[in-house]
């Protein structure tokens, strides 16, 4: 009898995070709707976005602590979402709870980490590799149609200013990332803020992209530089096929 009770208790503890996960879906959707509305006000110039301060240097009040808890749980929530072994469930929550602008046949593989998902736009048939990090917080990320991002790709729309007294992310250290149609980004690539990767371009594995990439060029290295060209006769379209459970 004690073994049965212990087993039930262990099962409950093991699954409690998923119970909380389900219960918080609607509140998280409401928060994201609010964040989208706030973002639209910033874009229209009705509000000014303030430089974010490094949290260790902020003396937080009760309101700031509550906001911090909400933000922290939402990041944890979407991180856990990346490990649900079902594309249909993941894509449904990405699109309708986190409000990612996702078109048809998008594949987001296992373990992807997405920050500020309401600022992420993914075109038809595009593939996001496993364990990728898409940080859209400081400018947004636009991914075109039939784009292929390899595993462990990192897209960073902002960075801290190491010369700033408070180590903030200042306006000149942030900006949108745009990846145009049929771009192929190899595994372990890092793309920094304010970069556009032109249509049909290829970024070699392990590269760090700090400047715009011209269409149909092959770039590689740290920092990435042009090392070749790609055919402009590209006709492929990704259908959304993916590995089950992954």
Please write the tens of the pLDDT for every residue from 117-132.
999 999 999 999 999 9
SS3 category, 149: strand
- In angstroms, rounded to a whole number, what is the distance separating the alpha carbons of residues 161 and 179? 25
- The pLDDT tens digits of the residues spanning 164-221 come to 888 887 788 889 999 999 999 999 999 999 999 999 999 999 999 999 999 999 999 9
Q: What is the largest CA-CA distance in the chain?
A: 70
Backbone angles phi, psi at 74, to 5 degrees: -65, -40
Peptide bond into 124 cis (omega under 30): no
Q: Name the residues annotated as catalytic.
A: 160
d(CA 96, CA 74): 15
Domains and CATH numbers, the chain: 2-49+62-229 (2.160.10.10)
pLDDT tens digit sequence for 26-78: 888 888 888 888 777 766 666 565 555 544 445 567 777 788 888 888 889 99
Q: The whole model's pTM is what?
A: 0.84
CA atoms of 25 and 46, how far apart (whole Å): 29
């Amino acid at each position: 009898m004690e073994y049965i009770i212990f087993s039930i208790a262990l099962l409950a503890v093991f699954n409690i995070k998923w119970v909380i996960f389900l219960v918080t879906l609607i509140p998280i959707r409401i928060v994201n709707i609010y964040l989208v509305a706030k973002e639209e006000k910033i874009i229209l110039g009705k509000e000014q976005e303030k430089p974010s301060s490094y949290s260790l240097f902020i003396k937080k009040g009760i309101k700031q602590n509550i906001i911090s808890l909400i933000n922290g749980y939402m990041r944890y929530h979407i991180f856990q979402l990346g490990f649900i072994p079902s594309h249909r469930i993941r894509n449904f929550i990405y699109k309708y709870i986190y409000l990612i602008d996702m078109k048809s046949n998008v594949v987001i593989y296992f373990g992807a980490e997405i920050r500020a998902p309401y600022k992420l736009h993914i075109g038809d048939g595009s593939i996001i590799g496993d364990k990728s990090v898409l940080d859209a917080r400081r400018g947004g990320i636009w991914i075109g149609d039939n784009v292929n991002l390899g595993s462990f790709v990192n897209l960073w729309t902002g960075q801290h200013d190491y010369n700033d007294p408070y180590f903030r992310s200042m306006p000149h250290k942030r900006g949108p990332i745009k990846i145009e149609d049929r771009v192929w980004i190899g595994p372990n690539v890092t793309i920094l803020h304010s970069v556009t990767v032109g249509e049909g371009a290829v970024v070699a594995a392990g590269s760090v992209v700090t400047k715009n990439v011209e269409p149909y060029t092959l770039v590689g290295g740290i920092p990435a530089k042009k090392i070749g060209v790609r055919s402009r006769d590209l006709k492929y379209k990704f259908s959304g096929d993916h590995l089950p459970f992954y």
